[in-house]
Amino acid sequence: MKSTLAAVLCSGLCLAQNGERLFQGNCALCHGPRGDGGKGTNLAQPRLPRAPDDEALFRVIRQGIPGTEMPGTRHFSDDDIREVISFVRSLGQTTPPKVEGDAAHGAELYRGKGNCAACHTMGGRGGAMGPDLTEIGVRRSPGHIRTSIVDPEAWVPDNFLNYRWYSLIPDNFVQVRLVARGGQRLTGVRINEDPFSIQIRDAGDRVHSFWKTELAELHKDWGKSPMPSYRGVLTPGEIDDLVAYLVTLRGGS
């Protein structure tokens, strides 16, 4: 009995060790060395919303998530994926780092001085210029959130750094400047585009749609973020408080 138990424990340990090696070589660039997020989702949590069980996580790793930056993984064998799953599940058993700051005051800053709701939606309320923050505390680590507040362009998605006429990413907040043939000038974020038309949302949350034949100029500011930096707008203590609040946003989970 003891030898059987030892063999099971050793097998689980070996899976996690091999999974860590694969994770560090293939996943850590986006998800962080300890899975606590970067430009990829925070994996260091007990329950992953998109992968509540191992079967679902297997599909996510193998197939990716359409419409996001998460690619499929064709060079992993099934055993490789199971080993990565074992390591990822171990990350959810770690104690999350303590976040300094007053979350209650951060909520006041979000609604007031920061005016974040003008661009961001939370629970179906707010602007649509920026990404939905309803589950930001699940999707991003505290460090990533802080960087996004003080240096928004540090995390512009890779897909925005190179020219392409299309994008399958829902969080497609590429800044666009255009001039219509009638003289109308608009700056906003691209929300949809195909070879013949483009739709953008302006700072007033109004959606505009154009046939490309109607445009005299169309500029896409690749690598730029419409979000301003809050460095100097909020004090370091206020940034701590805002981060502490955003970390609590978990979509009711």
Q: What is the pLDDT of residue 135?
A: 84
For the stretch 56-90, pLDDT in tens is 999 999 999 876 778 888 889 999 999 999 999 99
Amino acid 15: pLDDT: 58
Question: What pLDDT shows up at residue 86?
Answer: 93
For residue range 122-131, list pLDDT tens digits in order. Answer: 888 888 777 8
Distances (CA, A) of 3 to 17, 100, 163: 21, 46, 59
Please report, for the domain that includes residue 213, its CATH number: 2.30.30.100
Q: What is the pLDDT of residue 16?
A: 64
The answer, yes or no, to whether residue 208 has pLDDT greater than 60, is yes
**79 CB-contact burial (10 Å; exposed 0-12 / middle 13-18 / buried 19+):** exposed
* Residues 70, 43 share a domain: yes
DSSP state of 213: G
CA–CA separation, 211 and 215 (whole Å): 7
Domain count, the chain: 3
Do residue 82 and residue 17 come from a single domain?
A: yes
* 174 or 179: which leads in pLDDT: 179
Give the separation between CA 250 and CA 253, rounded to whole angstroms.
6
Tell me if 242 is assigned to some domain: yes
Residues 169 and 128 in one domain: no
Of 7-11, 147-151, 188-192, least confident by mean pLDDT is: 7-11
Domain that residue 86 falls in: 2-91
- Global confidence as pTM: 0.65
* DSSP 8-class letter at 82: H
Alpha-carbon radius of gyration of the chain: 21
- SS3 state at 61: helix
Q: Is the same domain home to 162 and 145?
A: no
- Does 146 share its domain with 231? yes
* Shared-domain flag, residues 237 and 130: yes
CA distance 70 to 53: 18
Q: Residue 228: which pLDDT band, with cuts at 50, 70 and 90?
A: confident
Q: Is residue 206 part of a domain?
A: yes
Indicate the average pLDDT of the chain: 82
What CATH number is given to the structural domain containing 72?
1.10.760.10
Q: What is the mean pLDDT of residues 142-155?
A: 84
Q: What is the pLDDT of residue 177?
A: 92
> What average pLDDT does this structure show over 183-191?
89
Same domain, 195 and 168: yes
Percent of the chain exceeding pLDDT 90 equals 38
Point out the domain boundary residue: 41, 68, 91. 91
Based on the domain organization, do 25 and 69 belong to the same domain? yes
Cβ(130)–Cβ(226) under 8 Å?
A: yes
- Which tens digit of pLDDT belongs to each residue from 156-177? 554 433 433 333 333 446 788 9
Task: Give the C-alpha separation, 45 to 37, whole Å.
Answer: 10
Q: How confident is the model at residue 6 (pLDDT cuts 50, 70, 90)?
A: very low
- Is residue 189 situated within a structural domain? yes
Residue 97 in any domain: the answer is no
More confident residue, 37 or 33: 33
| Mean pLDDT across 36-41 | 77
Cα torsion 152, 132, 47, 50: sign:
negative
Residues 66 and 31 in one domain: yes
pLDDT tens digits, one per residue of 86-117: 999 998 887 766 788 999 999 999 999 999 99
Is pLDDT at 10 greater than 50 in this prediction?
A: no
Neighbours of 238 (CB within 10 A): 20
